[in-house]
Structure 1
């Protein structure tokens, strides 16, 4: 298949954050008054974001980099593959099943789900396992809000996530790594899932979530490595025992269940003590910085792991 080439904007061409926030507030106000009958209540609601409680201090990564430098192996192994090969992927219609050890299991239509949840804007530093990072303005809602509606039972200890299986639309599911088993699955401990930092994202930069970034709904857990951020979710299931996860199942010696950012524990094939900042010094990133424990969110989440050895529980 042919590779496409995308133009990369100069830094001087990237709209400052203050400008796009002002424009976004204007669009949101207009949208709430006029667009409901045209685009549907869910799309209007997605634009009416409010600032979330956790905002990264760093400058956001440009939209061009955020949407053209991705890990989404369902579309291919290269960072450009998701934006190149996801055009045929259809994120509507879509349903998300929430079931397992809950009192109120439900199958949600994605638009009903978006309309029912408080959509917030949060700036998170996303880190991937290759020790590169971005700062992304996600639009979404706390996973805890959805789980509370399902009413977890007393024996629920973990939350298992499952991604969509569509090999006819996702070429990586046909020709990707033989050692990866599809569909992609992930998991969190219930207390991690209920933490207010944990987000289900349905958009970024005030736009509907692009296909290459996990449309229509994905997980964002900012103190963990990027492979925990399962994309294109179709099922969320509460369970009693630790669920299997895709990369841990593929190579447990390299990819642990918890995947907390810990710069003191190297990946067997590379150091994780520093990170390459995408967009600094060119598209492929010339800037580096020291990796922070828990990706800089230690004050908020370290208490979740007080009795754990984070060198062995990685």
Structure 2
């Protein structure tokens, strides 16, 4: 069969990838329709339309020969493709998305469609508790199965996060925020990982990366996987899942579900909030006041009080 070429990727996809990767993405964006068409032909799929979402890939809806809808995803970065597929393979059967086909030469995969439509269905209630249970489920699978070939949290922290925090600290005019930021930076060398909590981390737990099936059960998609202390994922979810809203409630739920004490999650929350604050300041992001409030609350909090 000859697959349909969907033509140019949507303007939103183009804008997001160029914002994220810079001009280097231009050539790949021109090639993406051909990559999707080649994968569809290889797997006997019929391409239907683009789904304009994500910051690292081009996504399309397709159907199998029996009419079953699937998601076809093409990654700009081959390394990110390999890491994501490796993590999804470890989590197979868990609260994530199933990999149906994968083409290493194209950096394209066919994934199961969740919730009957791109973007999934909606939650039906108890969202915070349900998502926390899904995170715990992924972590349990990550401990039970062989570790995938993905970066370590230690490497990511030491070689990526801390250097960019320090670079921005010295390069930005933070005005009255400088003292608080310097205080937060003083904690970075003290971050420690518990070897008993090592697992495969999702490491990108924004709300947009949690979708729901028809039963209202969450599926965690689009990971940026690492291997490290589960406390990192709980902190990321606490800080960024719904920025500024219900942060204390998520932290309490994270500690209850994971049995990781609040004082051991909070330092990662402060580090992640600090990293985000400096990034949002640098790009003048509209969400800067929100992350500033989160950072301030964690710097003023008493970890023993559960805040």
Interval containing the TM-score (normalised by the shorter chain): 0.3 to 0.5
Q: Which has the higher strand share?
A: 1
Structure number with greater Rg is 2
Give the TM-score taking structure 2 as reference length.
Answer: 0.36
Higher RCO (C-alpha under 8 Å, 6+ residues apart): 1
